[in-house]
Amino acid sequence: MMTDAETSLRPHEECGVCGIFGHPDAAKLTYFGLYALQHRGQESAGIVASDGEKITQHKAMGLVSEVFREKTLQQLTGHISLGHVRYSTTGASIAQNVQPFTAVHRGCFLAVAHNGNFVNTLALREELEQRGSIFQSTMDSEIVIHLLARYCDKEIKKAILETFEKIKGAYSLILMTKDKLIAVRDPMGFRPLCLGKLNSATNGYIVASETCALDLVRAKYIRDIEPGEILIIDKDKGLKSLFMPPQSRKSYCIFEHVYFARPDSDIFGINVYKCRKRMGNIMAREIQIDADFVMPFPDSGNYAAIGYSQTSELPLEMGVIRNHYVGRTFIQPTQSMRDFSVKVKLNPVRSFLKGKRVIIIEDSIIRGTTGRSRVRSLREAGVKEVHMCVSCPPHRYPCYFGIDFPSGGELIAASKSVDNIREYLGLDTLSYLSLEGLVEATGQPADTFCLACFNGDYPIPPDTEFHKMALDCC
């Protein structure tokens, strides 16, 4: 686990979602699913459950293990359940923004759990407020509830289609009514969402952000929710799919493969572990350096480092040791104890590193602050040459689709050349995997992916005003 100082410097995913349908212990399975998805959001967690009539819910700020106790889970009864873990990229990190959002409108109960960002939030919010909607939170996800409430007198399928035809942006979300679970993925498919069959006699299903959640509850992966698909899971009608109008291209977030998703998950039909290793293989082909060995700063870069080592035939070593017991309550050092928060988590093996020429494999450089401290600690340990290879191209543009990359001004590669970054980090050489190499590692064509944070080609024009407003209020 990262310290607070580090968590503010590394990029974050906005959220993870998990829904269970058709199991007597639905809330408990959702809890396990959220545990597997904890890496996608560590600020808050929530679960809503239904037995077809009665709704129960519990949500709070904190990690899944902090928010739920055995007794709390026992009170969340029913065969349908929806859960969410959150890291805020839009909307403040406060209790009223904890998801799933719930509302009752003219007797219809509705809950929503969302991963991603809408890009036409401001216009939709203004329109809804003019028509009398009162928002309880600063989250873009709440818009779904208001839009659905507007169409509440229509048949559910019609209401859902009309709602999502209005919303633009990146969203993988799950809706829950008293008796249905509904999975929705935006037409470009930015964020992952998959469907599994529960290993039980109950004919139940699970929908989750990543396949690692399915593994934990021993569910069988069936398929991904398709881009533009609305999948309704209902006791009487089983699975029923509707589709939004198709888009000419897909925009899967390639950074899920570089950094966010768990290596034991399959994302967009590709295993993350294998993909990260291939990034390392291709980097070794593109970038040759004369050095004694390759090493990651654990855990970032671990799998690309294996790939780089195998192709370059340089040994893979663990030159820094990670302390796994650093919790969130770790007290931040004062300014005079510079680098302390880096060292408490990663400590170099001094006697092994002294006099060596090392290649560090990193998964990304965002602001450069953490990397600079880490390189300094290697120099202090007596490393003779420090080379760094990054398993993706330089991040030059902000993300508006659910990842909290800082504004362009804070991204180090937006304003500095590669050589200036090398100098800032204190490296002998700095190299990045090419964009072509990154796409090649996925085994899929480039137009399958969003590459906007690397090349500035945004698949949908972003709502920069709302994004700025939301970040300001965080």
Q: From CA 207, how far away is CA 80, in angstroms rounded?
A: 12
- Determine which residue in the list 35, 68, 87, 255 makes contact with ligand SF4, applying CB under 6 A: 255
Q: How far is the CB of 403 from ligand SF4 (least distance, A)?
A: 4
Instruction: Kindly state whether residue 452 participates in binding ligand SF4, applying the rule CB under 6 A.
Output: yes
Q: From CA 224, how far away is CA 117, in angstroms rounded?
A: 20
Instruction: Kindly state whether residue 254 participates in binding ligand SF4, applying the rule CB under 6 A.
Output: yes
Q: Which residues between 401 and 420 bind ligand SF4 (CB under 6 A)?
A: 401, 403
The three-state (H, E, C) secondary structure of 178-233, written as one string: CCEEEEEECCCCCCCCEEEECCCCCCCEEEECCHHHHHHCCCEEEEECCCCEEEEE
Helix (H) or strand (E) holding 160: helix 156-166
Instruction: Kindly state whether residue 450 participates in binding ligand SF4, applying the rule CB under 6 A.
Output: yes
Q: Residue 163 in contact with residue 118, Cβ under 8 Å? A: no
Q: Residue 257 in contact with residue 267, Cβ under 8 Å? A: yes
Name residues whose C-beta falls within 8 Å of residue 388's C-beta, 6 or more positions apart in sequence. Answer: 359, 360, 361, 362, 371, 375, 422, 425, 427, 429, 430, 431
Give the binding-site size for ligand SF4 (rule: CB under 6 A): 11
* 108-118/205-208 β-pairing: unpaired
* Contact stretch for ligand SF4 (CB under 6 A) within 312-320, 321-329, 380-388, 444-452: 444-452
Query: What letter represents residue 185's amino acid?
Result: R
**For residues 34 and 451, which CB has a smaller minimum distance to ligand SF4 in the complex?**
451
Q: Which residues between 136 and 165 bind ligand SF4 (CB under 6 A)?
A: none
Q: How far is the CB of 95 from ligand SF4 (least distance, A)?
A: 27
Q: From CA 189, how far away is CA 347, in angstroms rounded?
A: 39
Q: How far is the CB of 356 from ligand SF4 (least distance, A)?
A: 34
Q: How far is the CB of 459 from ligand SF4 (least distance, A)?
A: 8
* Contact stretch for ligand SF4 (CB under 6 A) within 12-20, 147-155, 366-374, 396-404: 396-404
**For residues 378 and 413, which CB has a smaller minimum distance to ligand SF4 in the complex?**
413
- Residue 300 DSSP SS3: strand
**For residues 68 and 255, which CB has a smaller minimum distance to ligand SF4 in the complex?**
255
Q: Kindly report whether the peptide bond that precedes residue 299 is cis, defined as omega within 30 degrees of 0.
A: yes
* Contact stretch for ligand SF4 (CB under 6 A) within 15-23, 120-128, 308-316, 445-453: 445-453
**For residues 44 and 172, which CB has a smaller minimum distance to ligand SF4 in the complex?**
172
**For residues 31 and 401, which CB has a smaller minimum distance to ligand SF4 in the complex?**
401
Q: From CA 326, how far away is CA 306, in angstroms rounded?
A: 25
* Contact stretch for ligand SF4 (CB under 6 A) within 29-37, 199-207, 249-257, 435-443: 249-257
Name residues whose C-beta falls within 8 Å of residue 380's C-beta, 6 or more positions apart in sequence. Answer: 348
- Determine which residue in the list 73, 212, 253, 272 makes contact with ligand SF4, applying CB under 6 A: 253
Give me the 207-246 binding string for ligand SF4, x by CB under 6 A, dash otherwise. ----------------------------------------
**For residues 19 and 398, which CB has a smaller minimum distance to ligand SF4 in the complex?**
398
Q: From CA 307, how far away is CA 301, in angstroms rounded?
A: 10
Query: Closest Cα to residue 64, out of 40, 93, 85?
Result: 85
* Contact stretch for ligand SF4 (CB under 6 A) within 70-78, 248-256, 314-322, 325-333: 248-256
- Determine which residue in the list 101, 118, 190, 303 makes contact with ligand SF4, applying CB under 6 A: 190
Q: How far is the CB of 328 from ligand SF4 (least distance, A)?
A: 24
Q: How far is the CB of 450 from ligand SF4 (least distance, A)?
A: 3
**For residues 18 and 254, which CB has a smaller minimum distance to ligand SF4 in the complex?**
254
Query: Closest Cα to residue 279, out of 430, 397, 390, 422?
Result: 390
- Determine which residue in the list 193, 261, 399, 470 makes contact with ligand SF4, applying CB under 6 A: 399
Instruction: Kindly state whether residue 80 participates in binding ligand SF4, applying the rule CB under 6 A.
Output: no
Name residues whose C-beta falls within 8 Å of residue 32's C-beta, 6 or more positions apart in sequence. Answer: 213, 216, 217
**For residues 184 and 453, which CB has a smaller minimum distance to ligand SF4 in the complex?**
453
Asked about 15 being catalytic, the answer comes back as yes
> Which residue among the candidates 15, 212, 253, 275 is catalytic per the annotation?
15
Name residues whose C-beta falls within 8 Å of residue 423's C-beta, 6 or more positions apart in sequence. Answer: none
Query: Closest Cα to residue 197, out of 220, 213, 176, 168?
Result: 220
**For residues 21 and 252, which CB has a smaller minimum distance to ligand SF4 in the complex?**
252
CB count within 10 Å of CB 96 equals 12
Angle at 1 (CA atoms; ends 64, 94), nearest 5 degrees: 50
Q: Which residues between 29 and 68 bind ligand SF4 (CB under 6 A)?
A: none
Q: Which residues are catalytic, by number?
A: 15
Interface residues with ligand SF4 (CB under 6 A) are 190, 253-255, 399, 401, 403, 450-453
